[in-house]
Structure 1
Amino acid sequence: MRELARESRVRGCLLGGAVGDALGNPVEFDREPGVTDLELSADGLALITDDTQMTLFTVEGLIRSGGSGIPEAVYQAHRRWYDTQWLPGPPEHADGLAARPFLYARRAPGNACLSGLQLGRMGTFAHPANPDSKGCGSVMRSAPFGLWPAVSAEDAFARAAECAVHTHGHPTGYLAAGTFAAIVRHLLDGDDVRTATERAIGILTARERHEETLTALRRALDTPYAAGNAGIERIGLGWIAEEALAMAVYAALAFEEPDRTRDALLVSVNHAGDSDSTGAICGNLLGARHGEEALPAAWVARLEGLDTIGEIADDLVKAGA
């Protein structure tokens, strides 16, 4: 198999996450979703949610950091995202992503993300925001840490975890975020999903209080695929960090072949839980694994904010040039 260009994997990760997000968005709170295709708005667009919004702002924070002072830069980027959730549109002097009107849509943002960013101080390991929260909002925005150039999987893990405590202070919340970033890093370097996950587990288990995340990922790796909602719901419902990550891994493993990405994404969103987040994480994984070319082209073409997602992916690639 030919070696995929880094550009394709980076673009695939961000676009794949947006596709999975949009696929799961309409059924996030449905008990029996039965998703078979993208649901489009009246304007013919597949609408993204806070998952993709925050992921894009994570990328912007990384780029603006230049690799130095990453936690502070990402925190400020997420504060700019927070402003989009209560302002009607871009302020007069807004720049970057904050100047894009479509990002001012409020699409069921997570309570911990909002309350953590509302504090007015940056959460740290010593003084985390929401110390009891391990919602999946810590994970769904963390793929970009694995895409940042010239970092190891260990570095990606550490940076994602450090930025997760800005809003989610429970160890499982930030350790699941770190594990996700490490998996993405290994995928970017050419590993398959199982190998990438096993290697990330090696990083995870060196951390205290890793047990919940480890248990969820082991369940995903060891549970054979079964069709229907009941299959993926053996892993969880995705409202909490470790379950969302594990469900995405389970779905990605179910149909890992590059010509089966559509099927994997459908598995990832067809359950009675947090479908947009599990879809987004699965899309991130398979996009990083197989590149942009493996994504369903008809779905990508319908994405809300497609040009912006592509632009910021290209900016991230250039940051490592």
Structure 2
Amino acid sequence: MYDRLGPSWEATAIYRARVRGCLLAGAMGDALGYPIEFASLDRIRALHGERGVTGLVPGVGGVVGRVTDDTQMTLFTSEGLRQAHERERHKGIGGGWSRLVREAYGRWFDTQRLPAPPEGATGLAAQPWLYARRAPGNACLSGLAQEFVPDPTAELGLPGPVNSDSKGCGAVMRSAPFGLSRVPGDTAFAMAARSAQTTHGHPTGYYSAGAFAAIVAHLVEGDSLEGAVLRALRLLARYPGHEETTAALHEALDLAAEGSPTPEKIESLGEGWIAEQALAIAVYCALVQPEIRHALLLSVNHSGDSDSTGAICGNLLGAHHGDHRLPQEWLEAVEGRAEIAVCADDFAAECVRR
């Protein structure tokens, strides 16, 4: 699976760089978009000039670099999956990933309800900076208030039992770690889609999460971005109810082929509040502007869910290029960057041992 990356030591180094790049660039896109998340394009231009934001700008309270639930939930996804790998390696017990990821989301849910880490908290739940409520999605909150663990063997294609009409982007923006797990793309797709049903029961909501995870998995294998998207489209075609996600990705591919990116073109794909639109915008920006700095700026300067589209775009390009191309002046200002890097390294180390 990783032969194309070269000798094992080199493959491990490349893989680790891609995991770090994915999580750190995702946080960077999140932080770029958060201050302008609810602003129209006209308002963004009025405040920051015709080009919109050109770097990290202060958000609420005048603080630069804060991240939102997008980064928070992505980190908890990685923690749950890492614990599942550890459990399998130490105890020889596989198949428990769905419950452990659901429990990790429960710990994130606690960060949204508690003012600080409770006594005895460990792992991410012990990090005070994560106890911040940054406009979390209603579907994530209401879904996690219910007791539901998805069945990893269940057939996909029917509305899930939780929030069956919800197809917001909250399941997509947290799903990159499924693709980072060194599993085949079809496995990453199924895992992410089933886990998405914890909060988002509409097929478009969970298929978009699955497609995103599959794209990340293919990028980690060494595919081009366009190749990874095309492979994800072939996976989508297997499932009933894939049409909205498939159409959105085709729109992103077609629009990227036209060149000359503009915010107005981005907005022709939607605003990113719903799953397939957020994925399409991020894919478009990553395809049409492969340089990370310019792609991230493109992905947030629009009237819509700027932090989510920025985070997803960052995940894609970070998984594709690794961490060595990240703008250092932005990275240094991102909230929790040291802990995010540690989380990425621990996740990569565990997946390599597996």
Q: TM-score, normalised by structure 2?
A: 0.86
Deviation at 1:261, TM superposition (A): 1.1
| C-alpha distance in 2 between matches for 1:294 and 1:156 | 26
Q: When the two structures are aligned, how many residues end up with a matched partner?
A: 317
Q: Does the 8 Å contact 1:228/1:270 carry over to 2?
A: no
1:141 and 2:174 are equivalent in the alignment:
yes
State how 1:246-265 maps to structure 2 within 5 Å: 246-256=280-290, 260-265=291-296
Q: CA-to-partner distance for each residue in 1:12-46, whole Å, 9 max, x for gaps?
A: 00001000000000000000222211014668640
Q: CA-to-partner distance for each residue in 1:175-228, whole Å, 9 max, x for gaps?
A: 000000000000001111111000111111101100000000000000124443
Deviation at 1:231, TM superposition (A): 1.5
2:91 aligns with none
1:229 and 2:263 are equivalent in the alignment:
yes
The alignment partner of 2:115 has SS state of coil
| C-alpha distance in 2 between matches for 1:122 and 1:43 | 39
1:36 to 47, 50, 54: 54
1:5 and 2:14 are equivalent in the alignment:
yes
2:115 aligns with 88
| C-alpha distance in 2 between matches for 1:295 and 1:213 | 29
2:48 aligns with none
Q: CA-to-partner distance for each residue in 1:118-163, whole Å, 9 max, x for gaps?
A: 11333556752100000000100000000013x1001000100010
The alignment partner of 1:308 has SS state of helix
Q: CA-to-partner distance for each residue in 1:235-292, whole Å, 9 max, x for gaps?
A: 1110000000000000001111xxx210011110111000000000000000011110
2:28 aligns with 19
Q: TM-score, normalised by structure 1?
A: 0.95
The alignment partner of 1:138 has SS state of coil
1:214 aligns with 246
1:273 and 2:292 are equivalent in the alignment:
no
2:274 to 214, 232, 240: 240
Q: Does the 8 Å contact 1:24/1:269 carry over to 2?
A: yes
- Range moving further from structure 2, 221-230 or 234-243: 221-230
1:105 and 2:132 are equivalent in the alignment:
yes
1:118 and 2:145 are equivalent in the alignment:
yes
| C-alpha distance in 2 between matches for 1:227 and 1:154 | 31
List alignment gaps of at least 5 residues for structure 2. Answer: 7-12, 45-51, 89-93
Percent identity for Structure 1 against Structure 2: 55
Q: Does the 8 Å contact 1:172/1:242 carry over to 2?
A: yes
1:56 and 2:83 are equivalent in the alignment:
no
Deviation at 1:96, TM superposition (A): 0.6
Decide which structure has the larger Cα Rg and report it.
2
| C-alpha distance in 2 between matches for 1:196 and 1:228 | 24
| C-alpha distance in 2 between matches for 1:79 and 1:275 | 25
Q: Does the 8 Å contact 2:270/2:277 carry over to 1?
A: yes
2:328 to 297, 312, 315: 297
2:186 aligns with 154
| C-alpha distance in 1 between matches for 2:216 and 2:101 | 18
Q: Does the 8 Å contact 1:123/1:167 carry over to 2?
A: no
Deviation at 1:171, TM superposition (A): 0.3
2:343 to 309, 312, 317: 312
User: For the structure 1 residues 123 and 132, does the alpha-carbon distance in structure 2 shift closer, same or farther, using more than 3 Å as the test?
Assistant: farther
| C-alpha distance in 2 between matches for 1:62 and 1:86 | 23
The alignment partner of 2:310 has SS state of helix
| C-alpha distance in 1 between matches for 2:240 and 2:126 | 41
1:187 to 208, 219, 223: 219
Deviation at 1:229, TM superposition (A): 1.9
1:199 and 2:208 are equivalent in the alignment:
no
CA RMSD of aligned residues (A): 1.7
| C-alpha distance in 2 between matches for 1:276 and 1:130 | 23
Q: Does the 8 Å contact 1:226/1:232 carry over to 2?
A: no
| C-alpha distance in 2 between matches for 1:72 and 1:120 | 11
